[in-house]
Structure 1
């Protein structure tokens, strides 16, 4: 996996565990990503992803100003056999 630490990246794709912004050139191992990047990964619009987050269908985390999609949680849930992501699954986050 290739990563790049930048003080002011052109866009925030993810953050490392120390809170530094990281641009992942390969997002398969990113912990978090922006709504725009997730939308591109799954082939929907950013507005669709924003709606999923607001309805609790997709796990997210607030890190600073942006709300990011929690890819690590999605991977964990998939590895445990989750196949359907329904409204309210992540409402308590």
Structure 2
């Protein structure tokens, strides 16, 4: 039997549509995720994700102090057929 340590990605804390705190163990249904979790999910460094967020290559949203990757927007765009993500695609939300 294996044990999952929830301090390690792909664990993340997010918020549901009502603003209640939700813990996701795999982020498949999360609306938002931290830059650390997004980096782990995509096999890149956190600095790369920060650069993507700053340049508008991936959608992000400021929730209080941290800036989070907007997974819901990414999924919606992928469902619409978006295949290329370039600088400036997303504004500062």
TM bin, normalised by shorter chain, reads 0.7 to 0.9
C-alpha distance after superposition, 1:36-89 (max 9, x if no partner): 000000010111000000000000011111100000000000000000000000
- Whether the aligned pair in 2 keeps the contact of 1:13 and 1:37 (CA below 8 Å) is no
Query: In 1, Cα distance between the equivalents of 2:73 and 2:12?
Result: 19
User: Structure 2 vs 1, CA of residues 56 and 76 (structure 1 numbering), >3 Å: closer, same or farther?
Assistant: same
* 1:84 alignment partner, SS class: coil
Aligned residue pairs, count: 84
User: Structure 2 vs 1, CA of residues 45 and 68 (structure 1 numbering), >3 Å: closer, same or farther?
Assistant: same
Query: In 2, Cα distance between the equivalents of 1:83 and 1:72?
Result: 16
Q: Deviating runs (4+, > 2 A) in structure 1? A: 10-13
Structure 2 spans left out of the alignment, 5+ residues = 1-6
Query: In 2, Cα distance between the equivalents of 1:12 and 1:18?
Result: 18
Task: Report the TM-score, using the length of structure 1 for normalisation.
Answer: 0.83
Tell me how far 1:26 sits from its aligned partner: 2.1
Structure 1 spans left out of the alignment, 5+ residues = 1-9
Query: In 1, Cα distance between the equivalents of 2:18 and 2:70?
Result: 16
